[in-house]
Amino acid sequence: MLRFFYVAVGGALGAMLRYIVSGWSHRIFPNILPWGTLIVNVSGSLIIGILWAVFEGTIVSQNTRLLLLVGVLGSYTTFSSFSLESLNLFRDSEYGFFFLNILSNLVLGLGCVFAGYVFTRYILNIIK
């Protein structure tokens, strides 16, 4: 039962963080492309790559993994929002932005997971 607590607390933190980052991005960037979701998905991908590398080389409790990976990052990055916003662009005949949004999220997201992992493993090997 304690595991649900860690997921719930992490989820609340991730949701608040997502709200802050999305709000900030909407004030700074134009509204046509859903920049907030892109920034959240890319930064979340980078963070999960970093945590993957750190957790792989250390003993981290299951509760910590649940709190950070499932709770915080699970609610911070929202693929469902990405999907809905992409379909709205398609519905509004914004085909260029539709494809740009999909490619940007996928390529940058996957790239950041890989970059976060490789960079963190490199740094951890230097520290040893």
Give the span between the Cα atoms of 29 and 115, in whole angstroms.
25
H helices present in 29-72, as ranges: 35-57, 62-65
Which one, of 73, 82, 76, lies nearest residue 20 by Cα?
A: 76
* The pLDDT of residue 31: 75
* The pLDDT of residue 3: 96
Expressed as residue numbers, the domain containing 64 is 2-127
Arithmetic mean of pLDDT over the chain: 92
Structure token pair of residue 106: 């996928």
Structural domain count, the chain: 1
Query: pLDDT by residue (tens digit) across 59-109?
Result: 899 999 999 999 999 999 878 778 888 998 999 999 999 999 999 999 999
Is residue 111 over pLDDT 80? Answer: yes
